[in-house]
């Protein structure tokens, strides 16, 4: 069985949201905590990438901050490779729910991301060094394009992921 690290990408600037999305509350619980809870049943350990503090260990983006989600994925992969993990399951702090069927599809593909939300993915640690090298060389920072070039497939398991980019997106998730 693979030893999987769960990583929440939480280093974004939240320009459209207007404040720190990770700390925004949904049902009285921070989005960051929702994301961590959604990963926990599927992984051996959890980290948060791209923040100064979190309720679990924090990991920096690689090779440096400011490279967007791909830098966060690279940071999680580098940490996983250095700590004996076989793969990383990622989600973003603005994706509060991770459906079981999506996790199953991602893991079944071996190296995959959600077609509609490429920050949600299953990444073997063999991608760590090539990704850090790609970013250090100033390579393309689109998760979808890099993933396609690295042989990581996009899966469409027939679920819609909640994604919070604006305060209105968050308000739509609150049960009425």
Per-residue pLDDT reduced to its tens digit, 100-128? 999 999 999 999 999 999 999 999 999 99
Looking at the whole model, is its pTM more than 0.85?
Answer: yes
CA distance 67 to 162: 23
pLDDT range class, residue 160, cuts 50, 70, 90: confident
Beta bridge partners of 148: none
Query: Cα-Cα-Cα-Cα dihedral of 152, 145, 16, 79, to 10°?
Result: 50
**pLDDT at site 1:** 60
**pLDDT at site 176:** 61
**pLDDT at site 13:** 67
Q: Where on the phi/psi map is residue 65: left (φ > 0), alpha (ψ -120 to 50), or beta?
A: beta
Question: Is residue 174 predicted with pLDDT exceeding 90?
Answer: no
CA distance 133 to 117: 24
Domain holding 162: CATH number? 3.90.550.10
Residue 129: which domain range? Answer: 4-173
Q: What is the mean pLDDT of the chain?
A: 93
Residue-wise pLDDT for 27-66, tens only, equals: 999 999 999 999 999 999 999 999 999 999 999 999 999 9
Number of domains in the chain: 1
Structural tokens at position 113: 């991301």
- Contact in structure between 75 and 59 (CB atoms under 8 Å): yes
Which runs of consecutive H residues, i.e. helices, occur in the chain?
31-39, 68-82, 100-109, 128-136, 143-149, 167-173
């Amino acid at each position: 069985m693979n030893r999987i690290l769960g990583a929440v990408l939480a280093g974004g600037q939240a320009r459209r949201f207007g404040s720190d999305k990770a700390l925004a509350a949904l049902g009285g619980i921070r989005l960051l905590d929702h994301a961590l809870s959604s990963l926990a049943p599927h992984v051996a350990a959890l980290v948060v990438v791209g923040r100064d503090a979190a309720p679990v260990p924090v990991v920096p983006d690689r090779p440096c901050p400011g490279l967007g989600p791909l830098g966060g994925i690279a940071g999680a992969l580098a940490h996983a490779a250095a700590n004996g993990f076989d793969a990383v399951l990622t989600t973003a702090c603005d994706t509060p729910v991770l459906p079981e069927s999506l996790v199953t599809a991602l893991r079944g593909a071996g190296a995959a991301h959600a077609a509609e939300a490429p920050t949600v993915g299953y990444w073997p640690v063999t991608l760590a060094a090539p990704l850090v090298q790609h970013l250090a060389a100033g390579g393309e920072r689109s998760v979808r394009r890099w993933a396609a070039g690295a042989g990581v497939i996009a899966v469409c398991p027939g679920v819609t992921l909640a994604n919070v980019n604006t305060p209105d997106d968050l308000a739509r998730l609150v049960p009425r």
